[in-house]
Structure 1
Amino acid sequence: MTQRIPPPAADDLTFPYPDPPPPGAVAAVAPGVLWLRMPLPFALDHINLWVLEDGDGWTLVDTGIATDATRALWDQVLAGPLAGRPVRRLICTHFHPDHMGLSGWLTRRLDVPLWAPLGEWAFGRQLAAMSDATFTSLCHALYRPAGCAPDDLALVETRGNVYRRRVTPHPYALTRLMDGQVLPIGAHDWRVVVGHGHAPEHAGLWCRDLGLLISGDQVLPRISPNVSVWPTEPTADPLSLFLDSLTRWRALLPDDLLVLPSHGLPFRGLHARLEVLSHHHDARLDETEAECRAAPLSAAAMLPRLFKRALDDHQFFFALGETLAHLHHLEARGRLRRIMGTDGVTRFAATG
């Protein structure tokens, strides 16, 4: 097991805006940059959205999930604090339903284009078009060998394709965002910085002039972004991609930025937070390897050793995906090997 350098303290962050705007309202965090919040029906109960002054209009960043409550709040915001100026475009950082869920509804309602990374748009459209039967068959193909119990597999049938129910149909066309691209928005330039691991091509937006980073889910102040193996890419090693992105963002981005995350509060202390996230996964990887050294374990058997709190159905599959991500990463690094049992369950054993 590698000797780790102690991580910086989580308290190295500062939070200049401790009070989020109430539903249907906005708060300014910088000249021409507005913050609004939408509710989410999960334990993580909110998402932060951003509005950028764009000449005589607005650019919106992310949408919220496709619920009647979110639509009603958008109606309130558009008729209230954003009234009198046209929306010019919608930018979506990635395909997850709380970020792209209302992309179709908003772009049609406002007659504006969607701007997003091609991989995020394509993945979202593909997933939204998948039938419940097709999606559940992919889930069984991943979760049975992972060692899931019959009750857990029954949840797959009950849930079906949850993504499709949390989005409106995405637009058929988009303007593509790419890493390094510079977007003139109003009086300022915003550079696209792509991260991987949490989503295929997650777009962050960096404004050097304003000292701001819209980080989406790639960097959050108090929780670690979910990094999971999902049924649509069952052999993936997303944790390698995520850790590489943390290293690249730390080398590229100044430490003094005000970070505007999708969950939690705006904060300062970007480099410290990137280090904490990296060390968090170092510790999880060491813990996973140690458990597999004692005895070969399936992902389902490993899950309660890594996630010791009670999990609801939504959290269970996120935790299972993240457990698989750590196992796959250790296998790719030669620290674990997989053993296929006669019961059809894959278990992982330490190599050293």
Structure 2
Amino acid sequence: MVARTPDAAFVADESFVPTSHKGLTYPFGGAEPAEGDAMTVAPGVRWVRLKVPGPLKHVNCWLVDDGDGIALVDAGMNRTETREAWKSVFKGPMASVRVTRMIGTHFHPDHIGLAGWMCDHHAAPLWMTRGEWLTAQMLVADARPETPREVSDYRHAAGWSAEQIDIAAQHGWANFGRIVRPMPMSYRRMVDGEAIRIGGREWRVIVGAGHSPEHACLLDEANGVFIAGDQVLPRISPNVSVGITEPQADALGEWFASIAKLKREVPADVLTLPGHGDPFTGLHTRLDAMDREHRERLNELEAFVRVEPRRVVDCFGRLFRRAIGQDMLGMATGEAMAHLRRLEIEGRAVRETGDDGVWRWRGV
């Protein structure tokens, strides 16, 4: 395994040429670990990048030195290709290294799909927040093959066509269980604000919301390292959705509150290690940009529904900068719902249900 280590400025190796984009600095200049390899990004912290299907293309996982082993933060999706990549990582100099604990930032399959496999292989305990662990366990257990009637009704109310609903129903409902290995029945709960000792260093748990129920971030303030998961991404905004399980949720409001919380509790100059994209510095700049982007979208959407009542699907053109195909329809619907729901909560729009059973939002 090749491990390249930056100095305190994160650029000891001359092959690292820092780059900047929209106020952020990328200390490694686009360098990344090869598949099946790991790359040191800070003292005692290594980066593994794994392929995932879809537009994200990859997920980042972090190996944190922990005594005679490593604490693993996120594990990738339950796919043969991903398991083979991990087998390559744990060869050579790391052949005798064990995983001391498996930490899951949040329940999404690209992050905890192989958490159970890692726990089994290394006899390692699983660490997650309660909200994330319970949500994952519920979705793994709900392995019914057919799409629930409530889901199809929800899609109809959002404005999906009959054809789109039928195509989605053909894919069934048990996809989550196929890409997430069963996890241990017991876990170690992480709580917002608690300090965790990993390898003699203190990491503070900072819980965010909006992208998922109780997303765990980890801050090593003494060494200026922040493992952000999907709570902060450098170039794209994480999906913030309202779905069938909690249709009255205020996911976007929780997202705004989490951005403000991170600005209060995490220093601006930390090295941020995101779940997707490259490590960067300039955290507060990125937080401000994400907050501003969503508030601008809200304003655009408010103006749009003032012209005439709009369905969820009518709002895609105002929220997204590309066409939404069948494969992205669910995520786009959830994100549009989060914004429309926020307009309701702020008193800027009302939802009405037509005789056709479809929701429409009207500006007030």
The number of equivalent residue pairs is 343
Aligned 8 A contact 1:327 1:348 in 2: yes
Spell out, residue by residue over 1:133-188, the C-alpha distance to the aligned partner (whole angstroms, 9 max, x if none). Answer: 56533321321111111122113212222212211112211000010011100021
How far 1:314 moved relative to its partner? Answer: 3.2
- Is residue 35 of structure 2 the alignment partner of residue 46 of structure 1? no
Spell out, residue by residue over 1:8-56, the C-alpha distance to the aligned partner (whole angstroms, 9 max, x if none). Answer: x961100001211000000001111000100001111000100000011
Could you tell me how far apart the structure 2 residues matched to 1:318 and 1:258 are?
Answer: 29
After TM superposition, list the pairs within 5 Å mapping 1:66-215 onto structure 2: 66-133=78-145, 135-161=147-173, 162-215=175-228
How far 1:73 moved relative to its partner? Answer: 0.7
How far 1:103 moved relative to its partner? Answer: 1.2
After TM superposition, list the pairs within 5 Å mapping 1:253-264 onto structure 2: 253-264=266-277
Segment drifting more, 78-87 vs 103-112:
78-87
**TM-score, scaled to structure 2:** 0.91
Aligned 8 A contact 2:316 2:324 in 1: no
Partner-residue secondary structure (3-state), 2:90:
helix
Partner-residue secondary structure (3-state), 2:25:
coil
- Is residue 2 of structure 2 the alignment partner of residue 27 of structure 1? no
AA of the residue aligned to 1:193: I
Aligned 8 A contact 2:107 2:132 in 1: yes
Could you tell me how far apart the structure 2 residues matched to 1:11 and 1:345 are?
Answer: 40
Aligned 8 A contact 1:94 1:203 in 2: yes
Could you tell me how far apart the structure 1 residues matched to 2:134 and 2:147 are?
Answer: 16
Spell out, residue by residue over 1:77-108, the C-alpha distance to the aligned partner (whole angstroms, 9 max, x if none). Answer: 11234222222110000000011111111111
AA of the residue aligned to 2:308: A
**Aligned equivalent of 1:13, options 5, 24, 27:** 24
Change (3 A) 1:133 1:279: same
Could you tell me how far apart the structure 2 residues matched to 1:10 and 1:199 are?
Answer: 27
Aligned 8 A contact 1:250 1:274 in 2: yes
Aligned 8 A contact 1:63 1:102 in 2: yes
Partner of 1:285: 298
How far 1:235 moved relative to its partner? Answer: 1.8
How far 1:75 moved relative to its partner? Answer: 1.1
Could you tell me how far apart the structure 2 residues matched to 1:240 and 1:30 are?
Answer: 33
How far 1:305 moved relative to its partner? Answer: 3.4
AA of the residue aligned to 1:288: L
Could you tell me how far apart the structure 2 residues matched to 1:81 and 1:233 are?
Answer: 46
CA RMSD of aligned residues (A): 1.4
Partner of 1:334: 347
Partner of 1:55: 67
- Is residue 207 of structure 2 the alignment partner of residue 223 of structure 1? no
Q: Which has the higher contact order (CA 8 A, sep 6+)?
A: 1
Partner-residue secondary structure (3-state), 2:222:
coil
Aligned 8 A contact 1:25 1:81 in 2: no
**Aligned equivalent of 1:299, options 289, 299, 312:** 312
**TM-score, scaled to structure 1:** 0.94
**Aligned equivalent of 1:249, options 258, 262, 265:** 262
- Is residue 287 of structure 2 the alignment partner of residue 274 of structure 1? yes
AA of the residue aligned to 2:269: D
AA of the residue aligned to 2:184: P
Segment drifting more, 157-166 vs 85-94:
157-166
How far 1:310 moved relative to its partner? Answer: 2.6
Aligned 8 A contact 2:71 2:99 in 1: yes
Spell out, residue by residue over 1:282-313, the C-alpha distance to the aligned partner (whole angstroms, 9 max, x if none). Answer: 11101111110010001012123322413343
AA of the residue aligned to 1:276: A
Partner-residue secondary structure (3-state), 2:189:
strand
Spell out, residue by residue over 1:253-288, the C-alpha distance to the aligned partner (whole angstroms, 9 max, x if none). Answer: 100000000100000000000000000001110111
Spell out, residue by residue over 1:214-246, the C-alpha distance to the aligned partner (whole angstroms, 9 max, x if none). Answer: 000000000001000122112211000011000
Partner-residue secondary structure (3-state), 2:343:
helix
AA of the residue aligned to 1:16: P
Could you tell me how far apart the structure 2 residues matched to 1:229 and 1:80 are?
Answer: 45
Segment drifting more, 296-305 vs 113-122:
296-305
AA of the residue aligned to 2:243: W
How far 1:209 moved relative to its partner? Answer: 1.6
Could you tell me how far apart the structure 2 residues matched to 1:330 and 1:318 are?
Answer: 19
Identity %: 42
Q: Which runs of 5+ in 2 are unaligned?
A: 1-19
Change (3 A) 1:314 1:172: farther
Could you tell me how far apart the structure 2 residues matched to 1:51 and 1:24 are?
Answer: 13
Could you tell me how far apart the structure 1 residues matched to 2:229 and 2:32 are?
Answer: 16
